[in-house]
Structure 1
Amino acid sequence: MKNLKKSHNPSKILVIGFATFILIGTFLLTLPIATESDESLPFLDALFTATSAMCVTGLVVVDTGDTFSTFGEIVILTLIQLGGLGFMTFATFFFTVLGKKISLKDRLLLKEAFNASSTENIAILVKRILIFTALTESMGAIILAIRFSFDMPVKQAIYYGIFHAISMFNNAGFDIMGEFKSLTLYADDPTVVLTVCTLILLGGLGFIVINELYEYRQIKRLSVHAKIVLSTTLILVVGAAIFIFLFEYGNDKTLGPLSPVGKILGALFHSVSPRTAGANTLAMGDLTHATLFLTIFLMFIGGGSGSTAGGIKLSTFAVLMVTAFSQLQGKEDVVIFRHRIVVGTILKALTVVMSGLMIVVTVTFLLSITEHGHAFIMYLFEATSAFGTVGLSMGLTPELSPIGRIFIIVTMFIGRLGPLTLGFAISQKRRKEAFQRPKGNIMIG
């Protein structure tokens, strides 16, 4: 019985599932048909790209638009969609279409993948997620395709619209503009900037929150979790946009040359994108150190739980911030939106943050050993971007040594699955000790 239970462990199945699709994607990307030159891509480059796509990160060692053929780009897009929504979402959809019942094991996997509170109505949630995703990506693709059609042939514009809509909604950050340009050509274009920002934010809120917003017209209330995610998102986006606007206003290499509207759009985009999307309209290497530090902070936080985004998650950050303020004010209880937060939730949040910090610090340290000739902030930036599955880079990614690429591959994988598996592990039934040990008084501060 123990072996059976272990084999049905949701954490293990999620890890194996993601790893399997990464290996399949790696194999497909090494085929000559996957590249423009009809030459096989080196295995490590293919593994890096497949991992980045499946973990919806966006870090690349070779330029996506210049290196891969249409076949290769479709493989990457498929991995992005699978990684963003989760392979169990699609499996559930096909089971439903075939008329098969969803087993308890599958329900537990879906519950874990979306960070849902229970398995009740999980099949309905999956159906709504797929419909919402299809509608959102379709609308984004149409708007982007129309805008791109002014700059390129219609067929190419449609393809570019579809690719970037799926990539941005899933917070992957992959683009096919070529020459590592990302969306810098559209830095002051309201249509592109606002459409992409909307796709990123909708993908990063979390499907549980989206579902609550959909049901709001009937139940007329939101959970504490939804309120935390929505309010924290608003604060971070607006606050970061204001700071970036001030930091970069006089920078001749970023916001300086843009029109007043372009400056606002540039600041807004770079307050949204670090929330694990990875696209950029301004050259990352030209940003001020203040903006880079703020970007690292935003990348570490990430998006909402159960979303296409990574990071430690908005709710984790909010819980710890409110806890700190409560302690400073001498309050015994931690209260958010008139609800008391239990100690167990605070401990989980602390565990996730400390684990994330240890990962980022360790990877930064390793990169500083294996990579040479770069500023320290580039190592910290790269490690945080990989852990938060963001995809922004100051230009270090293509220059990484083989061992450095392996470190980033592992970090992306941990960043995408770590919070999920860790969250599941610490959510299990706690074992109580047979007896209580004496209390130890420790001086803090």
Structure 2
Amino acid sequence: MDYWDRLFLYRQKHFLPRVHQLVTWMMGITYLCAFAFILAIVYEYGFMISPEERSGVEVIYRAVWVVMLICTTVQIIFREDGTSYKFTVWTWILDILLYLTLVPVIFHRPEHGGGVEWVWTVLHSTYYRNGILLLLSLSQLSSSLVRLLGRRTNPSLILASSFFIFILIGAGLLMLPRATYHGISWIDALFTATSATCVTGLVTVDVPSTFTLEGQIIIILLIQIGGLGVMTLTSFFAMFFMGNTSLYNQLVVGDMISSNSLNSLLSTLLYILGFTLAIEGVGMLLIWWNIHGTLGMSLHQELYFSAFHSISAFCNAGFSTLPGGMGNPMVMQNHNLLYIILGLLIALGGIGFPILVNFYETLSYHIGYLRWKILRPSRHFAKKVHLYNLNTKIVLIMTVLLLLVGTVVIVIFEWNHAFAGMPVIDKWVHAFFNSSCPRTAGFASVGLTTLSKQTLLLMLVLMMIGGGTQSTAGGLKINVFAVILINLWAVIRGSEHTVILKRELSVDSIRRSHAALISYLVIVFIGIFAMSICEPQASVMAIAFECFSALSTVGSSLDLSPTLSNTGKFIDILLMFIGRVGTFTLIAGLVKQEKKRNYKYPSDNIIIN
């Protein structure tokens, strides 16, 4: 054996294992640094700290920065194909941005002004350095969470656990001294964090008078995280910046976001985030254009108000920074466009991300067809027959029907009741707005206690139905409700097949829809029964409305939430959590799944009717 063979064997047997171990240790150190960095940010912006404490926090920032630079360098130099750390284009970009923070350390400030000095100033900025470190920290923590999927853990339990962890983190952040004006109890902080993360909107305290600007920012971040979905965000960071996900991870994430293939997994995640930011951005601009110069706010306050309500509406959260919510007298007059914009944002958030992706694909197809028609008519163009899938058609049809029926019914029963004294156009606008809100938004332009019993009963039904699957909405889901109605009509007609829009529904879809309905009704009944024991002074209607609203993550209340006891608040918290994770999903995740059997028992009939 010659010298090079011995060197190769030594490298394979002794050197590479130690290198892999070093890289693994470095990745563990980066996780610890990520935690330390985020805790330092929380301490700096959550507490009233002295200049000495601020200097200590800055020392932590610098230490994390140095360690991140060293760890990143070690991972780049000694990385092997067999390690779990993979590089994507965006990983390299993030690493390059991190290395650019060394420029002000190596080079002095340029003496002459201009673009070079401006670049040096930006790279020397604390905000730039901390922003890069925050992205690195989030990507590291997200990749560790996504790796749990590779351990064959039940995805439903991971989803529920991730929401639970974020709720606890949010409750802790809301209890920070700088988050509130006069402090908040732990149960109210937990209630608000649950309501925000589960995009519900129920509150036991007045948001504008209780929470400071920092507290309201925490709430809107929880709403955004809860609306998009914890696993959607963590999967995006893990795949976009780190690229370290196994095949099993990708299959589970793809099932969560309804991706058609693994090749389109990252693009689907990008579509979801892109659609969310684009719709919320357009909604923010339209809201600002409507309220500009009418509410006595400064420009910054108007922009903040617009952004908060756009995110809250699209995520179907129902939180508002106005005293009294959207029924505040300042917006009740001459702001019909505001209510229409919020109603449309609620509808867009409630139809579901798969439908938005289907919209984008259809729009791209039509644009491509027009380009072919104009520029290259001689070449072949692959035409698509079915642009909209069955799920999209059902959700759109049901959404339009529910909005129309709800608007007309509310107008009929509230014309001379809750809407008395309003102009005709205002009555129709507020009817539309209050018809879209019960399907999990939680806003209200009039006091719900002033509505007629018929309208409240209609709202109970709308709250139970909810929005589309894999949307920011809650409830039983439009898809499930449509399948149940279609199957009911097929049974009444004596048909052996359940058909809709020339498509036969699968037996599994029908079985799961009925199971979801039964589980929803059982849980809401248990909630009403338990709440009636804890809140004997409340009426049955108020309790039922509260429980339906919590389980469907709506956020509407007949003024019962602020008067609840701690036990009643805890029941609401459980219902909101179960409703956001999904009643059927949570129960299926807790119950051991039966293995597939290669045999079946003899069939028999049960006497019905």
Q: Same fold (TM over 0.5)?
A: yes
Q: How far has the Cα of 1:114 moved from its partner? A: 2.9
Q: How far has the Cα of 1:225 moved from its partner? A: 0.7
Which of 213, 233, 237 does residue 70 from structure 1 map onto?
A: 213
1:256-271, aligned counterparts within 5 Å? 256-271=420-435
Q: Which runs of 5+ in 2 are unaligned?
A: 1-147, 366-383
2:373 — aligned with what?
Answer: none
For normalisation by structure 1, the TM-score amounts to 0.93
**Are residues 1:181 and 2:325 paired?**
yes
For the 8 Å contact 2:408–2:431, the answer to whether it is kept is yes
Between 275-284 and 94-103, the greater mean CA deviation after superposition: 94-103
Which of 160, 164, 173 does residue 309 from structure 2 map onto?
A: 164
1:5-404, aligned counterparts within 5 Å? 8-37=153-182, 39=183, 41-116=184-259, 119-149=262-292, 150-153=294-297, 154-178=299-323, 180-185=324-329, 186-187=331-332, 189-217=335-363, 218=365, 219=384, 221-251=387-417, 254-404=418-568
**Amino acid aligned to 1:181:** G
For the 8 Å contact 1:248–1:288, the answer to whether it is kept is yes
After superposition, the C-alpha distances for 1:120-167 in whole angstroms (9 at most, x for unaligned) are 512111101111111111111112123233212222111111111111
> CA 1:104–1:365 in 2, change beyond 3 Å: closer, same or farther?
same
Q: How far has the Cα of 1:5 moved from its partner? A: 7.3
For the 8 Å contact 2:531–2:543, the answer to whether it is kept is yes
Q: How far has the Cα of 1:435 moved from its partner? A: 3.8
Identity of aligned residues (%): 36
Counterpart secondary structure, 1:98: helix
Q: How far has the Cα of 1:421 moved from its partner? A: 2.4
**Amino acid aligned to 2:566:** P
Between 138-147 and 63-72, the greater mean CA deviation after superposition: 138-147
**Amino acid aligned to 1:74:** I
Between 70-79 and 185-194, the greater mean CA deviation after superposition: 185-194
Q: How far has the Cα of 1:95 moved from its partner? A: 3.1
Q: How far has the Cα of 1:207 moved from its partner? A: 0.4
**Amino acid aligned to 2:233:** F
Q: Separation in 1 of the partners of 2:511 and 2:240?
A: 41
After superposition, the C-alpha distances for 1:69-88 in whole angstroms (9 at most, x for unaligned) are 00100111110000000122
For normalisation by structure 2, the TM-score amounts to 0.69
> CA 1:328–1:393 in 2, change beyond 3 Å: closer, same or farther?
same
Q: Which runs of 5+ in 1 are unaligned?
A: none
Aligned residues, how many? 438
Counterpart secondary structure, 2:582: helix
**Amino acid aligned to 1:409:** I
Larger Rg: 2
For the 8 Å contact 2:150–2:246, the answer to whether it is kept is no
Q: How far has the Cα of 1:96 moved from its partner? A: 4.4
More relative contact order, 1 or 2 (CA 8 Å, 6+ apart): 1
Q: How far has the Cα of 1:412 moved from its partner? A: 0.3
Q: Separation in 2 of the partners of 1:427 and 1:112?
A: 20
Q: How far has the Cα of 1:319 moved from its partner? A: 0.3
Greater percentage in helix: 2
1:408 — aligned with what?
Answer: 572
Q: Separation in 2 of the partners of 1:166 and 1:4?
A: 29
> CA 1:246–1:75 in 2, change beyond 3 Å: closer, same or farther?
same
After superposition, the C-alpha distances for 1:417-444 in whole angstroms (9 at most, x for unaligned) are 0247259759998634454323332111
For the 8 Å contact 2:350–2:471, the answer to whether it is kept is yes
After superposing on structure 2, the runs of 4+ consecutive aligned residues of structure 1 that deviate more than 4 Å are: 3-7, 115-120, 422-430
For the 8 Å contact 1:11–1:420, the answer to whether it is kept is no
RMSD: 2.2
